[in-house]
Amino acid sequence: MIRGCVLFFLCFIAVCFLATAQPFSRNDSLRGSLTPERTCFDVYYYDLNLNIDISNKSIQGANTVYFNTTTTTNKIQLDLFSNLIIDSVCYENKRLSFKRDSNAFLIHFPTPLQANTAHHISVHYQGNPIIAKKAPWDGGWVFTKDSLQRPWVGVACEGIGASLWWPLKDHLSDEPDSMRLHYTIPASLMAVGNGILESVTLSDDKKSKTFNWKISYPINSYNVTCNIANYVHIEDKHIQTNQDTLAIDYYVLDYNKQKAIAHFQQVHPMLVCYEHYFGPYPFFKDGYAMVETPYWGMEHQGAIAYGNDYTNRIIDFDYIIIHESGHEWWGNNVSTCDHAEMWIHESFTTYTENLLVEYYYGYDMSIRYLNLNRSLIKNIDPIVGPLDVNYEGWDGSDMYYKGAWILHTFRNILKNDTLWFSILKGLQQDFALKTIQTSDIIQYINQKTGKDYTWFFNQYLYNAKPPVLNTYSEKIKKMVRVYYKWENTGPDFVMEIPLNIKNAPHVYITPELNYKFIDVKPKSFTKDFFNKNFQYYLIKDEKR
C-alpha cells in the first residue's frame, strides 16, 4: 500500500494509522488466526461472478471456491462481512447449512470431507458493500464520477480485508493458485480486473457487458480489484533483461489518454532498475498494468491502482508509480502470511524507492532521499505486531521509513554490497510466489551470510526504540579517551560502528552494555568523530 510522500505525510497520519493500544476481540482472532476450520483446507482457485449496480451502490453474485482438504473435516470457515447477505451455499447441487459468526461463517457438510480430496462450493450473496471514507487508507468501495460526471468506481481493501466485498478464505497465508473474475456492468462502461482480459460478453438486451478476467498466478486476496469507468486501453511492451517481451497495459480515463502515454514512459526505466535488483517482472503471463483510479494508489497485482494526477514527486519519477510497482516484487511476489508482518511488503518497497534513486542518480543522492524521511520515524510501536489477530495498529510511518532505514543499516553493517544485492535478488527468486514470515527472512539472511544476525532484526523489528549510543570523553595525557556503550539493547547486540578518524578510515568499535573506551589523538577527536558515519545507521547518539 502507499504511504504519503514527505509533502503529504501529515495529512496521511491524520487520517489513517494511530499508534494507540489496540484491544483484540474474538472477532479479531476469527479474522486473523488459522483455526482448525481454516487449516483443514487449501484453496487453489476462485471463480468470482459479480453484477455491480452502480446507481444503488450494490453488488450481487457468487463466488465458487475450489479447495483441497488437508485433513478430514465436516465444516470449514469462510469470510464475508455481516452487512452482506448470504443467499445460499451450494455443494454438489445441494444447499448446505451455515452459521454466521460476525464477519465469518461456518459451512457444515452433511458427511465428512475426506483428507486430500478436491471439492468446490458456491456462495451466492448480495448487498451494499462498505463505502470507503478515504480510500485507500480505509477500505471499501468508491462510487464517484469523473470530470465529465460519468460513473467512476473502484475498490481498495488492504487491512480490512477482501471479505468486505466477496466471500473467501480471507487469510493472507492461503493464496489461490489462479482466479477468474467476471464483472457485469452497464454496456457503456468498462470493468478492469487483475490479469488478462479473456473476453467481453454483451447481454441479449445489449444493456450490459460482462468482462471476464483471468489471473494466472497466486494472488493475495486484498489485491483482487474491480475498476469501472469510461476507460481507454493503451498497449505498450517492454523488453526485459532476459529478452522476453513483457506486455504492458494502461487503462485510463478516455480524456487522459495523451497525458498518460507521455507520463507512463517512465515505467520502462523503472522496470529496468527493478529487474536489475530483483530479477524479471514476476507475473509475466498476466503482464504489467496500471489502472487510473479515483484514489491515490494501491498495489493491486497486475492492475496497479494509479491516481496521482500524472505528476512527478521524486526527482523525475512519479512516486505512486515507483512505489506501487515495487510491490509487484515485495508484497505480491513475496508475500507475508500475517498482517502483523507487513514490513515484508512496505519496508522493502520503500527501500526499493531508494534503490531506484541510487541506480539513476548515485549513492549520495540516495542518502539524501533516505534522510528526507528520517525525521518522520516515530519509534512508538515495534514494526512487527501481534500475530493471528489481523493486526492493523501499525504506526503509519515506521513500517515504511524506519523499515527502509533498517535495511540500509543492515547493508552497512554487512559491508559487502555484492552479498547484499545477491540476498535481495535471492529472496525474490527463492521465495517467488510464496507467503513467508519474518523468521524466514532472518534465517535466509543468516544462511547466505554465514553469520547469525538474529540479534539485529530482533532489536529493530521487535523493539519500538532504536539503539542509543551513549558517549563521553576525557583527556588522558596526550590522548583523548572516548567512552561508549549501548543503551536500549540486549546483551547480544553486537553491531559495529565506524569511527571517523583521519587517515584511518576502517576503524570500528563494538559497544556493549557497559562502558568501553578507545584512545585517540586530540586532532582526530573532532565533532565528526561519530556523527559523520552515523548518518548511515539507524541509531541515536547521546553524550553525557
Each residue's pLDDT expressed in tens, for the chain with a length of 544 residues: 654 443 333 333 333 333 334 578 888 999 999 999 999 999 999 999 999 999 999 999 999 999 999 999 999 999 999 999 999 999 999 999 999 999 999 999 999 999 999 999 999 999 999 999 999 999 999 999 999 999 999 999 999 999 999 999 999 999 999 999 999 999 999 999 999 999 999 999 999 999 999 999 999 999 999 999 999 999 999 999 889 999 999 999 999 999 999 999 999 999 999 999 999 999 999 999 999 999 999 999 999 999 999 999 878 899 999 999 999 999 999 999 999 999 999 999 999 999 999 999 999 999 999 999 898 999 999 999 999 999 976 556 899 999 999 999 999 999 999 999 999 999 999 999 999 999 999 999 999 999 999 999 999 999 999 999 999 999 998 999 999 999 999 999 999 998 988 777 788 999 999 999 999 999 888 888 887 777 789 998 887 7
Say whether both 407 and 357 belong to one domain.
Answer: yes
Say whether both 178 and 301 belong to one domain.
Answer: yes
Return the SS3 of 65. strand
Residue 26 lies in a domain: no
Tell me the C-alpha to C-alpha distance, in Å, between residue 460 and each of 7, 63, 467: 26, 41, 8
Residue 316 lies in a domain: no
Say whether both 482 and 449 belong to one domain.
Answer: no
- Number of domain units in the chain: 3
Say whether both 364 and 243 belong to one domain.
Answer: no
Residue 3 lies in a domain: no
pLDDT at 264: 98
pTM here is: 0.94
Which residue, of 462, 490, 525, is where some domain finishes? 462
Say whether both 74 and 131 belong to one domain.
Answer: yes
CA angle 383, 368, 544 (to 5 degrees): 65
Instruction: Return the closest-CA partner of residue 232 out of 194, 259, 202.
Output: 259
Which residue, of 407, 439, 462, is where some domain finishes? 462
Helix axes 403-414, 343-361, angle to 10 degrees: 60
Report the relative pairing of strands 245-253 and 288-292 from DSSP bridges. Answer: parallel
Say whether both 387 and 504 belong to one domain.
Answer: no
pLDDT at 1: 65
Q: Are 469 and 542 in contact (CB under 8 A)?
A: yes
CA dihedral 387, 393, 398, 404 (to 10 degrees): 40
Return the SS3 of 482. strand
Residue 277 lies in a domain: no
Residue 504 lies in a domain: yes
Say whether both 77 and 208 belong to one domain.
Answer: yes
Instruction: Return the closest-CA partner of residue 313 out of 357, 347, 348.
Output: 357
Residue 369 lies in a domain: yes
- Give the burial class of 99: count Cβ atoms within 10 A of its Cβ; 0-12 exposed, 13-18 middle, 19 or more buried: exposed
Which residue, of 443, 462, 481, is where some domain finishes? 462
Residue 312 lies in a domain: no
CATH number for the domain harbouring residue 93: 2.60.40.1730
Say whether both 486 and 443 belong to one domain.
Answer: no
Say whether both 534 and 503 belong to one domain.
Answer: yes
Note down the domain range covering 210. 37-268+283-306
C-alpha cell at 512: 556493549
Report the relative pairing of strands 479-487 and 304-306 from DSSP bridges. Answer: unpaired
Cβ-Cβ contacts under 8 Å for 415 (sequence gap 6 or more): none
Say whether both 149 and 164 belong to one domain.
Answer: yes
Say whether both 481 and 413 belong to one domain.
Answer: no
C-alpha cell at 218: 497466486
Residue 513 lies in a domain: yes
CATH number for the domain harbouring residue 432: 1.10.390.10
Say whether both 104 and 130 belong to one domain.
Answer: yes
